[in-house]
A and B are shown apart, each in its own frame.
Chain A
Amino acid sequence: MAEVEARIPNRRDEMRTIAALVEQFGLTHLVPSRIVNELNVALDEILNNIISYGFEPGEQSEILVRLSLQQGERVAEIEDAGRPFAPLGAPPPDLAGGLRERRVGGLGIHFVRNLMDAVEYARVGECNRLRLSKTLAPDEREKPGGERHGNS
């Protein structure tokens, strides 16, 4: 199992650290670029949500992001100590409307739900824990001895 984690302050200008972490993890572990990009979209949505709505203005906190490759899955876990945040309970976005009427509210969670294979949320004590995962394709599963074959 391969794992890496980083903590960032709850500020938008720190989000780039996580995008770089995902890219590097992807390169190191030969994750197809499509998966890396999907993870980065999902993480951009989640982190932006946490930073925007999870804390009082000016409240300083940290967000933990852990990336791992587990049996058959690529996983991103996000932990924060902000307000309870239940992405799965959010209303679906309004995707109708021409240029003038379109709003992007709810689009982020819509992306997360559709790009990830599984999204799990738990409130543990004072923390939100979100687990995003992408299942590896059958030909990408880890073989005995750690050898992995895959294609993009």
Chain B
Amino acid sequence: MDDELVTTHLAEIRRGTVVLACLSVLDEPRYGYALLGTLGEAGFEVDANTLYPLLRRLEKQGLLTSEWNTEESRPRKFYALTPEGRTLRTALAREWHAVDARVRGVLKETDR
């Protein structure tokens, strides 16, 4: 089967999960590069050139706040969840569980 076709569809699935993943690990303020590592360890393959703009977009949507930390020699921009971010995370998590149950149900019929 066409590799590009598989990649396209897999990317669709990944795209649907990356926001929930971000919101879930940002209970504790983190900066972009460290977040990349954290998500990577959790198994989420996010590109740096996807994550950096995404964090900024989530901030613009009011789900995250950001702050420059100048304590260390290298200044870094830390992101943290806002209350709205927390609320959205709960809603997304609920939807995720519902989708999971539905997909499992449907896949059961296909003996996968």
Whether chain B is bound by chain A comes out as no
Q: Which B positions have Cβ atoms within 8 angstroms of A?
A: none
